[in-house]
Each structure stands twice: as C-alpha cells, then as structure tokens.
Amino acid sequence: MTPMRFYGTPLPDADLRPYPGKLIAIEGTDGVGRSTHIAELRTWLEAQGYAVADTGMTRSELAGRGIKEAKAGHTLGKLTMQLFYATDFADRLDNEIIPALKAGFIVLTDRYMYSAIARAVARGMDPDWVRDVYKIALVPDAIFYLRIDSISDLVLRLLETGKGFDYWESGMDVGFGEDFYDSFVSYQAKLLAEFDRMTTEYNFKVIRASRSVARVSADLRRSISAIIGAGAAAEKAAESVPPTANGNSSDLVHTHPPYKRVKNASAT
C-alpha cells in the first residue's frame, strides 16, 4: 500500500487512505510519442494480468469538452486556458485517478500537471502561481520524461506524420513567430527548457525519446517492472503491520517536501 502524498493540500473530501495501485506519468513535449507508448504499455501490463487505466489532459467529463470547443477557435486567453486545464486536472484526479488507484489499478497518465505548468510558463505566466494551482496533485509513483534530443528532431517527426502545425502546439496564440514554423520552434524550445528545469525539481526519470520506439519502450518496461516489483515487496513486508489510523485521518496523508524550483534568468 502506498501512502497518499500530495504536493500541497489535497482536494476537500478526498479519500486519503493508502492505495494499492500505481500512478505512472508519461511526460514530454508535443510529438515525442507519449500516446504510442502508453497504448503499448497498457497492452503489455494487461497481458501480465494487471488492471490498467489510462487518462490524459482534456479527458474529464467536467471540462474536457469545453476545452476542446474553446480551442476550436483562436480567442482563448492564456489565463482562461490554464484555469480550464486545472479544472480538467482536478476532476480527473478526484473522479478517475484516485478511485482507480484505490481499486488497485496501474494508472497511466498521458501528461500530468507538469505539461500544464510548462505550457503556462512558456506563455509568460508566473511560475510560482501556476505551481501553487497544482499543489492539489497527488505525487506519482514515477514520472517518465520522454526527452527529444533537439527541436529539429521534433519538427522532422511532425513533418513525417503529414499533420502539419497545430495552432496551439505552435504557440500562435501568443505570437512566438511570424508563421507557424517559426512560432512552433520558439514555443517548443520554451517547453523543452521548462521541462528540463522541472527534471530535478520533480524528480523526473529522463528517457531519450529520439531513439526508436522499440528502444524507448524497452526502457519504460524495465523501469516500470522495477517499480511494480518494489511495490509488491513493500506490500508483503507491511502485511504484518497493524493500521494506526482509519478513514480520512490526517495521519494517512503525507505532504511531499517542498521542491526548490530551478530558476534560470537567461532561459528563453
């Protein structure tokens, strides 16, 4: 059983008892293959007999549809966007992620709060304010950061898909460039820099995403196998320890030690 650990204060009325599941976040900039790897990991884990749930940004019943409709146009402001993302996150955390963990599922999340933070900071929002918004977040059991080697690699991947440049993924709403290409390169570089800063801050496990899908997948499988194995061993050792609290007692909640945010005034 894993104690509930939060980055700050949990949501009101949250079930704060330890959970038997595992929360695994897959992070990275746009186009690094997160969805591909989550689909592969789900198939692999289910084949081993594990119950698996997956989630991701903009999938909440409360806010997911509203975000997609708002982004269908080009008038969504950056503050409104971030509050939309925060609402989506809180709804999924409370109604999808925590219940699945309590039921013993391995929860794979395509992005967690870190992408929302990176997007907000890249758009010029206050880094401390954005982090405070997401202090309701449960600390994952593991955070895998799929890091692309360079923006050039990212552009090449995008061109190979034939999908073209997305308005929001290119940062066109804040005008990082005169055209989609220039804006995409500038915006994604800012995202990459923010993810790199968060690596130490939030203890990301970095996996080089510029390699083949098979090699990245193999690294993810090895790392997740170790996490699951360690969790099973700890649960077996704890079976003989009597509980010291029950219900929604504060004895069951652990606040993660505060992180020291890496600041880099020269970053662009």
Q: What is the mean pLDDT of residues 47-72?
A: 95
pLDDT at 175: 84
pLDDT at 197: 96
Q: Is the pLDDT of residue 260 over 80?
A: no
Q: Which two tokens stand for residue 145?
A: 């950061």
pLDDT in tens, 113-157: 999 999 999 999 999 999 999 999 999 999 999 999 999 999 998
**Using CA atoms, how far apart are residues 169 and 192, in angstroms rounded to an integer?**
13
pLDDT at 262: 61
pLDDT at 239: 55
Q: Is the pLDDT of residue 245 over 90?
A: no
- pLDDT band at residue 247 under the 50/70/90 scheme: very low
- Looking at domain 4-255, its CATH architecture is 3-Layer(aba) Sandwich (3.40)
pLDDT in tens, 218-241: 999 999 999 998 756 555 554 555
Query: Where exactly are the structural domains of the chain?
Result: 4-255
- pLDDT band at residue 14 under the 50/70/90 scheme: confident
Q: Is the pLDDT of residue 174 over 60?
A: yes
Of residues 244 and 195, more confidence is placed in 195
% pLDDT > 70, the chain: 86
